[in-house]
Amino acid sequence: MSPDQTIRFTVSLPRNLLDELDATMTHRGYASRSELVRDLIRARMIEAAWDDPAAAVHGVLTIVYDHHRRGLTDKLHAVQHSQYVHILCTQHVHLDHDHCLETIVLRGTPAEIERMALEIGGLKGVSYAELTRTGVAGG
């Protein structure tokens, strides 16, 4: 049996929960209950991975900052170079005359990624920081 073979199984749900599932399916544009349930399971498995201190997970840190803030770009560079093992790539967008947006893709344990997100997000001049926790669930 190949690991990506699709298996059908039966799930029993209370009627009101099934109604909510169907409403969510329609609202989010899913073509089938199976697609929605697969995504829900994957999302829960990624959450579980983030609860495991030894798990290797990925995160995407999105930041917005004022590049005129004295010393900030140097500090951002210093933090990222000191943690280069955990930084897979960064993308930089010049939002307007003053502001830059960066997405930083991070790899490591949950604690390593959260520590970097707090360190970078906490720098003076960073006006927005949001960490998206992600990873691989079920291939």
Give the footprint of Ni ion on this chain (CB under 5 A). Answer: 94, 100
Give the nearest residue (CB) to Ni ion.
100
The smaller minimum CB distance to Ni ion, of residues 94 and 124, is found at 94
The smaller minimum CB distance to Ni ion, of residues 39 and 98, is found at 98
Phi, psi of 35, deg, nearest 5: -60, -45
- Encoding tokens for residue 106? 């991070």
Q: How would you list the strands of the sheet with 126-134, edge to edge? A: 87-94, 99-108, 57-66, 126-134
- Encoding tokens for residue 81? 């170079």
Q: How far is the CB of 62 from Ni ion (least distance, A)?
A: 14
Q: How far is the CB of 26 from Ni ion (least distance, A)?
A: 41
Q: How far is the CB of 18 from Ni ion (least distance, A)?
A: 49
The smaller minimum CB distance to Ni ion, of residues 49 and 76, is found at 76
Q: How far is the CB of 64 from Ni ion (least distance, A)?
A: 10
H helix or E strand, kind and range, residue 114: helix 110-121
- Encoding tokens for residue 77? 């560079």
The smaller minimum CB distance to Ni ion, of residues 51 and 74, is found at 74
By three-state DSSP, how is residue 1 classified?
Answer: coil
